[in-house]
Amino acid sequence: MMDMALPPFMGTSGLLPTGTLLESLIHKSHEISSMENLPSVQMRNVSTMIRRIKLLYSLFDEIQETKCPLPPSSILCLTELFSVIRRVKLLIQGCKDGSSLWGLMQIELVSNQFYVLVKEMGRALDILPLSLLNITADIREQVELLHRQAKRAELFVDAKELHRRDDLLEIMTSNNEKNIKNKGFIDMGRLKEILSSIGLTSPLDYEEEISKLEAEAQKQAGTGGLIVVSNINNLISLVSFSKSIIFTSGENEKIKEDIKQRSALNRYDPSLISQSVLPNIPDEFRCPISLDLMRDPVIVASGHTYDRNSIAQWINSGHHTCPKSGQRLIHMALIPNYTLKSLLHQWCQDNNVPLVESASSSSTDLERSNNKGKLCENAIDHISAMKAAADAVKMTAEFLVGKLAMGSPEIQSQAAYELRLLAKTGMDNRRIIAEAGAIPFLVTLLSSHDPRIQENAVTALLNLSIFDNNKILIMAAGAIDSIIEVLQSGKTMEARENAAATIFSLSMIDDCKVMIGGRPRAIPALVGLLREGTTAGKKDAATALFNLAVYNANKASVVVAGAVPLLIELLMDDKAGITDDALAVLALLLGCREGLEEIRKCRVLVPLLIDLLRFGSAKGKENSITLLLGLCKDGGEEVARRLLINPRSIPSLQSLTTDGSLKARRKADALLRLLNRCCSQSHNPVG
């Protein structure tokens, strides 16, 4: 969740009056404390968090009642607490308003979000000056107790909810196509018990849950990829079917009997059984195009489900939009909806309706084009346990690689985008995608004239390169020249920046530092991005240059490419936000003769470094003192004299000898001794 901007608070010199900050804290904590109708999922984490916020509410309320000004040292703590409380409200509200089933599936993730917030609360309370606040002993004890509890808190995942989630996964994984053939149908009693335990007890509850799942699918469509949307659609199918079974009375018994008799007379010839004599078909089992009972349900790119034959005819007739939503289909893959197919089989068995696969569905032009990618049938399975999930990733990767190899530019773009998402999380995913043969095809797509394809391809390679073995495979595929080309003249700035990040990732391996540095265009292209890129792009370029400059032979190339003036310029640009990265590269370049000479030419650098000794980060201070010491040694008398005449230099160095890191203290001592010798020699010249 994205943080909202904090409201302004009133500030003066000395003590700060209670103002907007305190009022905001009281308002937000009161909103949370007053929450009712707790969610069925994450109930313990939610109730425990509300209890903690109530204690803080008592503290804030008492501070306001005293009408005493806030000590300045409390402002940082209260600001941090406001950030935590605001995110707590968003998290609890999300649990209350979101889908209970999806929350159950995400139980570990959401539980960890509660844990992170509790730990942040504890860190904020670390700096709360209780002794300076005019509060009663009772409130003080309560806050101290809350502080201790927050520091000791451990991740809590409700075992009962975990068991329910595993039960639901077991029900769903037992109903794939293989088990359908073996009559492995859903245990409705067990399923009803699980759904009831998370608050689904009436038809209205089921309708609301379906709406929430549909909203979640819409939300995930842009970022979650096909797998997540398919998972949510499977849940929608499950809830819809459960509703129709659980809340349907015996009103269809007569129709069932009629169907049974007609079926017996017709020897179950499906062609002789009209749709008009079927029992009331649940809406979720009807194809939105034909309005008939679906035989082979498939999911299209928009997330909607259709009968395979109907949607294939729609696409073959030249349509490239979803019939239900009107949304343009970004790819034409038809993904089997196994969960709905399982539910359809069960419904047909319960109602004595013969279900025969549509014979024509396999003979369409669309299907013939998809026969080369038969693994599509298994590419995206329903929500599964870990092994099944890994198998699904493997089949998805193989299917997408097939699309990279043989698809149209539009299909290639979508396949590269899906691989980019799939490679974004999990080392196993990155390994599986590489094993499926994706890397050579992605490298080929780097030279595409389509900006989307190029950007998706280079970003997919960036994500894959996080897995160390893939670094070797990417280099072996001859990717580096193409990556440099994208870095230098990519179709979009994001593509160029991600190419720089890929070079940074690849250069973590020493052999790659040598190979990349040996390419004449690589370092100048990084320096070019350092000049032209966005803040993120400049940071990517600086970190890549740092990695390459670790190898001594590359240092001179970085200097010759004109990096030094740019890096010093970035030190003076507060908005650039890469001070530490620029300092780190300059400190490395000091290690070669060309770098030392170029850095010494800049007269504005010394006062900048003195200021950074005082106000920089710990790492920034280390690199600043490294630079100053290197500039003053070995013929750096002029720099030393400039340091001596600067009134801020000696106090800054003395401060660093006591407050700096071990490395910074050692170098500050060495520089002070060097300056002392320089000062002595100037007063006692050798004759």
DSSP codes of every residue in 101-150: HHHHHTHHHHHHHHHHHHHHHHHHHHT--GGGS---HHHHHHHHHHHHHH
Query: Other C-beta atoms within 10 Å of 500: how many?
Result: 32
Judge whether residue 272 has pLDDT over 60: no
User: How far is the C-alpha of 621 from the C-alpha of 580, rounded, in Å?
Assistant: 9
Half-sphere exposure of 382 (CA within 13 A, CB side): 24
Phi, psi of 306 (to 5 degrees): -140, 165
Burial class (CB in 10 A: 0-12, 13-18, 19+), 24: buried
Amino acid code (one letter) for 585:
V
Instruction: Give me the pLDDT at residue 248, please.
Output: 58
Instruction: Give me the pLDDT at residue 542, please.
Output: 92
Q: Could you read off the pLDDT of 274-309 as tens digits, one per residue?
A: 444 455 777 778 888 888 888 888 887 777 888 888
Helix residue ranges per DSSP H, 407-561: 409-422, 427-435, 438-445, 451-464, 468-476, 479-489, 493-506, 510-517, 522-532, 535-549, 552-560
Distances, alpha carbon 5 to alpha carbons 82, 87, 234, 271, 653, in Å? 11, 12, 37, 64, 37
Query: Other C-beta atoms within 10 Å of 436: how many?
Result: 22
pTM here is 0.46
Say if CB 487 and CB 526 are below 8 A apart. yes
Evaluated on CA atoms 230, 236, 240, 246, the torsion sign reads positive
Say if CB 9 and CB 75 are below 8 A apart. yes
Name which residue leads in pLDDT, 271 or 117. Answer: 117
pLDDT tier at 496 (50, 70, 90 boundaries)?
Answer: very high
Token code pair at residue 256: 């069932």
State percent of the chain over pLDDT 70: 80
Distances, alpha carbon 203 to alpha carbons 208, 243, 253, 308, in Å? 9, 7, 21, 29
Distances, alpha carbon 399 to alpha carbons 407, 416, 435, 436, 541, in Å? 11, 12, 13, 9, 34
Judge whether residue 92 has pLDDT over 70: yes
Residue-by-residue DSSP string for 368-385: HHHGGGGGGGGTS-SS--
User: How far is the C-alpha of 396 from the C-alpha of 263, rounded, in Å?
Assistant: 40
> Which is nearest to 465 in space by CA: 519, 517, 413, 501?
501
Looking at residue 70, what DSSP letter applies? B
Say if CB 68 and CB 134 are below 8 A apart. yes
Average pLDDT over residues 434-445: 88
Name which residue leads in pLDDT, 398 or 530. Answer: 530
Instruction: Give me the pLDDT at residue 224, please.
Output: 47
What crossing angle do the helices spanning 649-659 and 605-615 adopt, rounded to 10°?
40
User: How far is the C-alpha of 644 from the C-alpha of 674, rounded, in Å?
Assistant: 11
Please name every residue paired with 298 in a beta bridge, in sequence order, or none if there are none. Answer: 306, 336
Average pLDDT over residues 122-133: 88
Q: Could you read off the pLDDT of 157-205 as tens digits, one per residue?
A: 999 999 988 888 877 766 544 443 444 456 778 888 889 988 888 888 8
User: How far is the C-alpha of 154 from the C-alpha of 163, rounded, in Å?
Assistant: 20
Judge whether residue 346 has pLDDT over 60: yes
Which SS3 state, helix, strand or coil, does residue 303 take?
Answer: coil
Average pLDDT over residues 46-55: 93
Average pLDDT over residues 439-468: 92
